[in-house]
Structure 1
Amino acid sequence: MLNTFCKTPLWECNKELVRIALGQRPADVVIKHANYVSVATGEILPDTDIAIGCGRVAFLGIGHHTADRCIGPDTKVIDATGLFASPGLMDSHIHVESSMIGVGEYGRAVVPRGTTAIFADPHEVGNVRGLKGTRCMFDDKSSPLKAMMTPPSCVPAVHDVEDTGATIDAADIAESMQWDDVVALGEMMNFPGVFAADENLLDEIGETLKADHVVTGHLPLGNHSDKLSAYVAAGVTSDHECNTWKDVQTELRMGVYVQLRFGSAWLSMPEYLPQLIESGMDTSHCLLCTDDCHPNTLVSDGHLDRVLREAVALGLDPVRALQMCTINCAQYFGLGREMGSLTPGQCADLVLFDDLRDFNARLVMIDGDVVAKDGKPCFDPEPYAWPDWMTHTMNLGFEPTPETFEIPALADARLGVSVPNGKTCAEALAEKGVDISATLPDGTARVRVLGAESGATVTDDLVLDVPVKDGLIVADKEGDILKMCVFDRHHGTDGVHSFGFVKGFGIHGAFAQTVSHDAHNLLVMGDNDEDMALAAKTLLECEGGEVAVADGKVVALVELPVCGLMGTGHVDDVAAQVAKVEQAWRDLGCTMPSPFMTMGITSLACVPELRLTNRGYVNCVSFEMEPLIEA
């Protein structure tokens, strides 16, 4: 694959690199006396020199072979005594939108931590503004971070169960495969479509393979080797959805590149890494990824440096951990000839760490340029000029009121609930000829409830007794059963919204967000209709974001006007707003880590077991719609 991510193509500068290596011309930069992390051999080599020219490594001085002959009067010499020189870190699977900032600001947050490259799937923006929106997002070149795109494969994530703001098909993927910053196809979440030999999905895979790119995966099916074989045979070669050691073992044996995930809420890696280490299995097909990191995680705890700390604390050899986010990653994406290791001819993307335990980055270089020192960027991204069509995406068509959230307790127990925007549930049912006076008496009703679990992407499909009061089904605060509503925010009054219940958050008040994977519709959750209405109205007014409401007051707000997903400010400012929302979650009773991320996937229809989209409950095993009330 042609590498367009280096300052100078190798064929243009190889003569200069030869001269530098032979001491016939001076290097631009020489790093002296480093503890060199050889990800190619799994060694740490002390007192090593690295000479850099044209943005690439020209000479590697191991042992007594110094780079002194490469030093001229204008050469920048960096003394790395006591430091560890590693290739720059690469995140094999990330959604930049989850950081609630654009690509430029994302670089400001992660480059000082040692991250020099990301493989990013912009399917969040894709679901709101399509392929045009993803192109707009990645046209932000204000950061030196090598932001490589894996265009979204599943927009919508699953067909016929939700309404998105856009669609992306095989023709779009064929177009995107010609873009210089595209290196792979984004995660193939619609695995049912692959198993059903959906023509468009297989054509998307085909267009990717024809472009000599890889197809990244998403298969939360556990140990199902028959289905996994079909998935891999289709052309998918990686997966970040492993949750157990058995999943990891099975996928590695199938030749899959397993992406060990450790983000803000999806903390899969600790569940299986100790067993992977104990097994002694080869880890050259293991990559590290964060998948989703919120801005306060990035600012407070870090990015891949945080993942490395966790991996080493779990017992993984630090050099092997570094291989998983450098050379293994580059080789998987077809960039291994020029990126991923600090060897002659490769891009000079490197980090000088204090040690290989805390992974504190003292200096970061990209293409031989110093881009960060002592945790601070040496660059200041210009604010990106987002066009209006990317910052005005809230099209609900009406303003919700408390009555909007009322759910009649109908005697017709099998009736599902999906309501046109602008109408109450009672109005919509009456128009269908339903006798809305035939409600259940006060007491309880058997109602389907989505069970959310802390730190997990999977959910439970529960049927529980939920209170009925004055002919309405209401939330049960004491039983930790909250009301949910998902509104199509893309199509105005041509859209529909739906109702459901959720267990596991334990809050009083209401929360709403437009970060609701993957359609990113308006998701509202709470224990009373008044607070839910205020939460929804607040996000309509600010063009999207996240909000906490309690007792008729807005407690915390994150404004995300770019596609309802990203802010326009400094990463530290967005992180501070998110921290206030996190505190509001805690103050209002929730104990989950990053609960708004868990809330955001309650509508994600491509992960088992039960989800609520704007069309209603979806059984994400059978992919059939389910009723709200059970007999």
Structure 2
Amino acid sequence: MPAKSKNAFQRPKSWTDAAPQLVDVATGRAAADLVIRNGRWVNVHSGEVIAATDIAIVAGRFAYCGPNAGHAIGKGTKVVDAGGRYLVPGLCDAHMHVESGMVTVTEFCRAVIPHGTTSMFIDPHEIANVLGLDGVRLMHDEALAMPINVHVQMPSCVPSAPGLENAGAQLTAADVAEAMKWPNIIGLGEVMNFPGVAANDETMVAEIAATVKAGKTVGGHYASRDLGLAFHGYVAGGPEDDHEGTCVEDAVARVRQGMKAMLRLGSAWYDVASQIKAVTEQGLDPRSFILCTDDSHSGTLVDDGHMDRVVRHAIAQGLAPVTAIQMATINTAQHFRLEREIGSIAPGRLADFLIVSDLAELKIDEVYARGVRLAKGGRLEADIPPYDYLASAKKTVKLGRKLKAADFDVEAPEGANEVRARVIGVIENQAPTRALEADLPVEQGIVRMDRRNDVCQIALVERHRGTGGVTNGFVSGFGYMADCALASTVAHDSHHMIVVGTSKQDMAKAANRLGEVGGGVVLYSQGKEIALVEMPIAGLMSDERAEVVAAKAAKLTEAMRAAGCTLNNAYMQHSLLALVVIPELRISDVGIIDVTKFEKVDLFV
């Protein structure tokens, strides 16, 4: 399933091919393409800020970093005066999912380049759950066409929890071994099946072995609070990092076992402040800590930033600016065995750097990648054309029938006037949920919601094979006061459709609307469509520009607030309610899932 690009940016020469040019420029025998003069060099290798530094660039790589690069200036050399500003390595996002931005790889890059991101390590397991290996190849090939470094991790768990959900596709150990031969696969994506690793599941063992044999990095995802033998078995099984920690004890435990603790600040995951205390208060070595975003939607990217936002937040928690920058540059590069390519301003590395006027605030004036200025003053200068996805990547939402309000009825046990039901409890700004219980009334054999106590309905609608299946349950935490429903075909990780609402009529209308447009997210209230973000590519990504998507997402957020939802970034919380690899309680096409036990449970207690 190849995709088409109107224009691919030229890939830089390899270090070995460029080495003679680099040596000639460094020694003054040849002229550089670009020289930046009079900068303050943020040296992430030594931890210093070195004043009065020049850097010389040729063939998209740094050739010379030191005082007075006059020897590298010739007739064709472009010279830029940094005016005493800071020269900072381009920022790296160590773990993220492009699909969470609601946009394509191209549009994600357009949004984040002005914020200083020049390297991303993406795990496309969202599109893999819909389109399988073809979907991974789509994003792999698109990533190669970008003017910045977009490295791809091969998804490890599709579906994420076999037996507890049915995705739109399945990836095998043979698929993983095959993908390790692709030019832009950097490692294995987050290994979410942590019970499988601890139990020596054959598929997990084979996938990790294929990755290690290829000399690539194994990504981790240990979403359990249990730091006992199950955790030790998981670490022994090979994962080298983890971004699922939420408290300082999690960070300490991972680092002590030789893992890298990835601390995330996404649109709705705020896990840096609690865990960075392992460095600021307990004195652990910061080289074992890496910053990332995991999930950021388009509104956050366009309005608030990307890795620059994460670095500023880490500095605000008490980290020294250079240390925070190390966690978003050299630490990431070393973890993925790319320290000779990215992550620092040093000879031989790709010339990815920022000109920054305020280090503590990380005020980014200019962004360069491979020696070319891509953004200035927060505005993208590079012309990055849209990337064409073929029709085979669209029309993936198959409901099989038109849904009715009655499809969302929850039938009570015969003769019951009241039931005690399991309720998924949303935790603001965190990925885990709580396993709650609530006493709910029964009228004419149907269990009713309890809107006064913030218990509304949730449904998962099968959308890959058109079975017409609907799984119903209850959720608390959104605070909806109006008659409304929010439906989304972004439902990590199997990406069926999740519908949450206080009105079954609106739930049916919202679900049917997404079937009509080929996927996305929509809010209905009192029978009317209030906000819609169309995402026709695999039901996960828009084919519009990032700015357009961000504006639509902002309207969606306003509509949710108007309906009574006060959660920060509630859409992101909504999208994770089917993630059956993060405790405690979730919903899938199989039923209600207790993720502490990894088993299906009855809706009623």
TM-score range, shorter chain: over 0.9
Correspondence for 2:76 among 64, 67, 74:
74
State the match for 1:376 in structure 2. 379
Tell me which residue corresponds to 2:503.
Answer: 528
- Counterpart of 2:207 (choices 204, 207, 214) is 204
Output the amino acid matched with 2:62: V
Tell me if the contact between 1:364 and 1:370 (Cα under 8 Å) persists in the aligned partners.
yes
Deviations 1:421-440 (A, max 9, x none): xxxxxxxxxxxxxxxxxx42
**Cα displacement (A) at 1:272:** 2.2
Q: Deviations over 1:432-456 (max 9, x none)?
A: xxxxxxx423xx3111111111111
Q: Distance in 1 between matches of 2:64 and 2:78?
A: 15
Residue 115 of structure 1 aligns with which residue? 117
2:60 to 36, 51, 55: 55
CA distance change for structure 1 residues 5 and 152 in 2, over 3 Å: closer, same or farther? farther
Q: Could you list the runs of 5+ residues in structure 2 that have no partner in the other structure? A: 1-8
1:464 to 438, 452, 473: 438
Conserved in 2, the CA contact under 8 Å of 1:5 and 1:146?
A: no
2:566 corresponds to 1:566: no
The structure 2 residue matched to 1:477, chosen from 439, 444, 451, is 451
Alignment of 1:540-579 (within 5 A): 540-579=515-554
State the shift of 1:273 in Å. Answer: 1.6
How far apart are 1:342 and its partner, in Å? 0.8
1:11 deviates by 1.4
- Aligned partner of 2:3 in structure 1 is none
In structure 1, what is the Cα distance between the partners aligned to 2:344 and 2:228?
Answer: 34
Identify the residue that residue 408 of structure 1 maps to in structure 2.
411
Q: For residues 303-341 of structure 1, give each alpha carbon's deviation from its aligned partner in whole angstroms, at most 9, with x where no partner exists.
A: 000001111111110100110111110000011122211
Contact 1:37/1:44, CA 8 A, preserved across alignment: yes
Are 2:300 and 1:316 equivalent residues in the alignment?
no
Give CA-to-partner distance per residue, 1:136-159, whole Å, 9 cap, x none.
123225531211000110000001
Code of the aligned partner of 1:628: L
In the TM superposition, structure 1's runs of 4+ consecutive aligned residues that sit over 3 Å from their partners are none
SS at match of 1:279: coil
Give the distance between the partners of 2:537 and 2:405, measured in 1 at CA: 27
Q: 493, 500, 503: which is aligned to 2:476? A: 503
**Where do 1:580-619 residues align within 5 Å?**
580-619=555-594
CA displacement at 1:223 relative to structure 2: 5.4
The match for 1:491 among 465, 471, 479 is 465
The answer for the alignment partner of 2:32 in structure 1 is 27
- Distance in 2 between the 1:66 and 1:523 partners? 60
Secondary structure, counterpart of 2:479 in structure 1: coil
Q: Which amino acid aligns with 1:410?
A: P
Q: 2:370 aligns with which of 353, 367, 370?
A: 367
Query: Once superposed, what is the RMSD of the aligned Cα atoms?
Result: 1.4
3-state SS in 2 of match to 1:139:
helix
Q: Deviations over 1:345-394 (max 9, x none)?
A: 11111111121122122111111111111112222222222111211101
2:200 match: secondary structure: coil
Deviation, 1:5, is 10
Q: Tell me how far 1:467 sits from its aligned partner.
A: 2.0
Distance in 1, matches of 2:511 and 2:343, equals 45
Using the alignment, how far apart are the partners of 1:561 and 1:153 within structure 2? 25
Cα displacement string for residues 507-548 of structure 1 (whole angstroms, at most 9, x for unaligned residues): 131111011100010111111211111111111111111111
Q: Post-superposition shift, 1:196?
A: 1.8
Aligned pair count?
Answer: 594
The runs of 5 or more residues in structure 1 that have no matched partner are 412-438
Shift of 1:470: 2.0
Alpha-carbon separation, structure 2, partners of 1:622 and 1:186: 24
Structure-2 separation of matches of 1:300 and 1:381: 20
Question: TM-score, structure 2 length as denominator?
Answer: 0.96
Counterpart position of 2:600: 625
Q: Deviations over 1:378-416 (max 9, x none)?
A: 2222222211121110111011011111122123xxxxx
* Distance in 2 of aligned mates of 1:222 and 1:33: 50
Does the CA contact (< 8 Å) of 1:223 and 1:246 recur in 2?
no
1:142/1:381 contact within 8 Å kept:
no
Q: Is the 8 A contact 1:496 1:615 kept in 2?
A: no
The question of whether the paired residues in 2 share the 8 Å contact of 1:223 and 1:247 is answered with: no
Shift of 1:229: 2.0
Cα deviation for residue 563 of structure 1 reads 0.6
Mapped contact 1:195–1:230 kept (Cα < 8 A): yes
Deviations, residues 247-291 of structure 1 (Å, cap 9, x unaligned): 111111111101110000011111222343121211111111000
Alignment of 1:227-266 (within 5 A): 227-266=230-269
Deviates more, 1:141-150 or 1:621-630: 141-150
Aligned partners of 1:91 and 1:288 also within 8 Å: yes
Q: Report whether the alignment pairs 1:153 with 2:156.
A: yes
Secondary structure in 1 matching 2:361 = coil
Once the 2 structures are TM-superposed, how far is the Cα of residue 41 of structure 1 from its aligned partner? 0.6
Matched, 1:291 2:294: yes
Partner of 1:436: none
| Aligned equivalents of 2:91, 2:509: Cα separation in 1 | 43
Q: 1:267 aligns to what? A: 270
Change (3 A) 1:483 1:223: closer
Q: Give the secondary-structure state (helix, strand or coil) at the position aligned to 2:518.
A: coil
Deviation, 1:163, is 1.3
CA distance in structure 1 between the aligned counterparts of 2:287 and 2:522, rounded to whole angstroms: 43
List per-residue Cα deviations over 1:576-618 (Å, max 9, x = no partner).
0101111111111111111011111111000011101111101
Cα-to-partner distance string for 1:52-104 (whole Å, 9 max, x where unaligned): 1111111111xxx3101111111010111131101111000000000011111
Matched, 1:13 2:18: yes
Q: CA deviation at 1:6?
A: 6.1
Correspondences of 1:179-218 after superposition (within 5 Å): 179-218=182-221
Contact 1:186/1:217 (<8 A) preserved: yes
Judge conservation of contact 1:30–1:50 (CA < 8 Å) in 2.
Answer: yes
> How far apart, in 2, do the equivalents of 1:271 and 1:535 lie?
37
Deviations 1:190-216 (A, max 9, x none): 001112211011100011011000100
Describe how 1:324-339 pairs up with structure 2 within 5 A.
324-339=327-342
Tell me if structure 2 keeps the 8 A contact 1:105–1:143: no
Which residue of 1 is the match for residue 281 of structure 2?
A: 278
Secondary structure, in 3 states, of the residue corresponding to 1:11? helix
Which residue identity is paired with 2:327? Answer: M
| Paired residue secondary structure (2:362) | coil
Counterpart code for 1:100: M
Report the 3-state secondary structure (helix = DSSP H, G, I; strand = E; otherwise coil) of the residue aligned with 2:299: helix
Q: How much does 1:49 deviate?
A: 0.4
- TM-score, normalised via structure 1 length: 0.92
Superposed displacement of residue 226, structure 1: 2.4
2:169 is equivalent to residue 166 of structure 1: yes
Q: Which has the larger radius of gyration?
A: 1
Matched, 1:44 2:33: no
